Structure 1
Amino acid sequence: MRLFQIPQSALLNVVVRVTYRSEWPDGFGARGWKLDIALDDPEIIASTPSPGERINTSVLVHDILDHYVSGFPPSGHRNEAMALIQLGTRTGSDPRPDYEQMVDEDLMHGVVYGESMRSFLPPRVVQLLPLDVISGKETIDFLVNILGHDSLRSMFVERFFELGYRGVPLAQASWNRHGLGYERSTAIGTCLQWLLEEADQLLVNGAFSFGTGFFQIDNQVCQITLKEPLNTAFNKPV
C-alpha cells in the first residue's frame, strides 16, 4: 500500500501517545509498546503488535480502543470486564476465557485490582459476609465455606459479564464524545493494527531501542507518527 502524508488538521478526533522499547525495565524484559498514560502503571506490561490466537488485533489496539477510547482506565478488574465486552463487540471474541483466567489467577485468591473485594462482589453476596471479614482472602475463605468453590467461581464469572455489559452505554457515549462512530470500531481496529505493525517493523529493522510517537484516529483515516528516534508517519484509510 502506498503511504502518503495527511495534514494533521484532518486528524483531530483522537490522539493517543505511545512509547516503544526493545526491552522495558519491568522485571520481564518485555519488548513492545505501551500507552503513555500507562507508563507508570506496573500492572500494564508492554505488548508486541502480534494479534492473539483468537483475536485479529493486538493488546495495544485493545488498550487504545476498548479502554482509552471507550473511557475505561487500563487497569482494574472492573475496567477490564467492561473493556473485554468491547473487545468482543469489535472482534467477535468470547470474553469468557479471559474472565475465567482472572477469576482463577486473582479473585479466587482474594485479589481484586482497582477496588475492594466487597465493592466488587454482587450486593446479594455481600449480604452474606460478617462485618469482621475484611480482607480479600478472608472473604474468599468464608464464601468458599458457605457456597463451595465451583459455585463461587461461577458467580465471579457471571459478575464479570454483568459488569462488562453495564459498560456498553458508557463506551458508546465515550466514542460519541470523541467524535468517532461506535459502529466503526471493527474497521478502526483493523486499521490501527496495520499501522502498528508497520511502525514496529521499522523500529525492529533499524535495531532501535527506544521510540515515541502517537496515533491519530478518525472515522475515515488513521495515522501513526513516530517522533523518535526518527520522524516519519504512516497512514491508512479506515
Structure 2
Amino acid sequence: MIQYLIGIIDKSFKKEPLTMSLGNNSLKDVQQYPTKFLQILSEGVCLPVTYKQSWDDGFGARGWKLDVTIGDPQIIASTRETGQKINTSVFVHDILDHFLSGFGISGHRSEAMALIQLSKRTHSDPRPDYEQMVKEDIINGMVNGEPLTTFLPRQLKELLPSDIEMTNREIISFLEQKIGESTLYEALVDHFFTLGKAGEEHALNSWKAVGLDSEKQTEIGLALQNILEVIDLKVEEMEIEELKGFIRIDNKQVSFAVQEPNGLFEGYQAAVSS
C-alpha cells in the first residue's frame, strides 16, 4: 500500500503547480492549491509534511509542519501533544480545520473560522480561545493577516473619526474611551464568533471539493491524531533529525509514508471509524 501511495505521489507531484486563488486572504480555493502542497486523488488527498528535531525558524521547536507552512513566521512546529481538554494536536488542527477547510494557516480571521471547525469536530467551546486572542492580541492592537481597520466589525469602525490617522494602539484606546473597556472586549469576542461562523459554508464546500465527507470530521481527526501519536513518538525515540513524508487522508483511512523509504522508518495507517 505504501509503495503504491509513493508511486502515485511521484507522478502527480511533477505536474506544474496551479496558481493559488487568494481573494480574501483568509479564504482559499482548495482546488487551486499548488500541487506541491496538496494532491487531490481519486479518493481523498495527499499532503507533504516535514519533521525536524529542531527548526531553524527563530523558535527552534521540535515537531512537524505542513510543507505549505514552511517559511510562515507565525507557524511553530507542533508535536503529538494535545490540549488538556481537547484530544487533538495543533498539527491536526492546521491540517483539517485550516488547510483542508480552505482557510489561511495563520491570521486572526483564519483562526476564528478554523476554531469553529475545531468545535464541530471535537465538540469544544471556541470562546476561551477567542477571549485569549482578544486579550493578548487585539486589545494590544495586534492583528495578523490584515490591517486592524479591516478586521474590526462595522459598528466599531463607524465610531472612528475619518479625518484623523491613528496607530492600532491609538484606535483601541479611542474605542475603549468611547464605549468602555468591557463593552469593547465583548464586542470583539462576539466578532470572532461572527467571523468564525461566516466560514462554515466555505469549509463544507472545501471538504466536498477534495472528496472528504464533512460528517466524518470527528472520525478523520481521531485517525489522524492516532497516526501522529505513532510517528511522532517514533521519530523522537529514534532521534531522527529530519524526515519528509506524505499524509494521505480519505473517508476510510489515514496513512503516512516517508518520501524516501530507508527501511528504518515504515509507513503507518489508521482506519477511519464508520
TM-score bracket for the superposition, by shorter chain length: over 0.9
Partner of 1:52: 83
CA-to-partner distance for each residue in 1:49-100, whole Å, 9 max, x for gaps?
Answer: 1111111010000000000110001001000000000000000111111111
Partner of 1:146: 178
Partner of 1:29: 60
| 1: CA distance, partners of 2:260 / 2:122 | 31
Specify which of 118, 121, 128 is matched with residue 90 of structure 1: 121
Partner of 1:233: 267
The farther-off stretch of 5-14 and 149-158 is: 5-14
| 2: CA distance, partners of 1:81 / 1:191 | 24
SS in 1 for 2:81: coil
SS in 2 for 1:125: helix
Is the alpha carbon distance of 1:138 and 1:228 closer, same or farther for their aligned partners in structure 2, counting shifts above 3 Å? farther
| 2: CA distance, partners of 1:101 / 1:209 | 34
SS in 2 for 1:97: helix
| 2: CA distance, partners of 1:31 / 1:205 | 13
Is the alpha carbon distance of 1:157 and 1:228 closer, same or farther for their aligned partners in structure 2, counting shifts above 3 Å? farther
| 2: CA distance, partners of 1:40 / 1:140 | 30
Contact kept? 1:212, 1:229, Cα under 8 Å: no
Specify which of 193, 199, 210 is matched with residue 225 of structure 2: 193
| 1: CA distance, partners of 2:2 / 2:240 | 23
Give the count of matched residue pairs.
Answer: 235
Report how far residue 11 of structure 1 moved: 7.1
SS in 2 for 1:152: helix
Contact kept? 1:78, 1:163, Cα under 8 Å: yes
Could you say what the CA RMSD is over the residues aligned between the two structures, in angstroms? Answer: 1.7
The farther-off stretch of 195-204 and 35-44 is: 195-204
CA-to-partner distance for each residue in 1:187-237, whole Å, 9 max, x for gaps?
Answer: 000000111111112211211111111110000111111225846311121
The farther-off stretch of 12-21 and 166-175 is: 12-21
Contact kept? 2:43, 2:211, Cα under 8 Å: no
Partner of 2:193: 161
Contact kept? 1:34, 1:60, Cα under 8 Å: yes
The farther-off stretch of 223-232 and 86-95 is: 223-232
Partner of 2:101: 70
How does 1:103-122 map onto structure 2 within 5 Å?
103-122=134-153
Partner of 2:154: 123
SS in 2 for 1:212: strand
The farther-off stretch of 222-231 and 127-136 is: 222-231
Partner amino acid, structure 1, of 2:70:
L
Gaps of 5+ in 1: none
Is the alpha carbon distance of 1:201 and 1:228 closer, same or farther for their aligned partners in structure 2, counting shifts above 3 Å? farther
Specify which of 201, 204, 210 is matched with residue 236 of structure 2: 204
Query: TM-score when scaled to structure 1?
Result: 0.94
Partner of 2:18: none
Gaps of 5+ in 2: 9-40
Contact kept? 1:5, 1:235, Cα under 8 Å: no
Following TM superposition, the consecutive aligned residue runs of length 4 or more in structure 1 with deviations greater than 4 angstroms are 9-12
The farther-off stretch of 128-137 and 142-151 is: 128-137
Does residue 18 of the first structure (1) align with residue 22 of the second (2)?
A: no
Partner of 1:214: 246
SS in 1 for 2:244: strand
The farther-off stretch of 19-28 and 80-89 is: 19-28
The farther-off stretch of 32-41 and 126-135 is: 126-135
SS in 2 for 1:74: coil
Contact kept? 1:221, 1:237, Cα under 8 Å: yes
Partner amino acid, structure 2, of 1:163:
L
Which of 1 and 2 has higher RCO (CA within 8 Å, sep 6+)?
Answer: 1
Query: TM-score when scaled to structure 2?
Result: 0.82
SS in 1 for 2:198: helix
Is the alpha carbon distance of 1:55 and 1:161 closer, same or farther for their aligned partners in structure 2, counting shifts above 3 Å? same
The farther-off stretch of 4-13 and 176-185 is: 4-13
Contact kept? 2:2, 2:257, Cα under 8 Å: no
| 2: CA distance, partners of 1:225 / 1:85 | 30
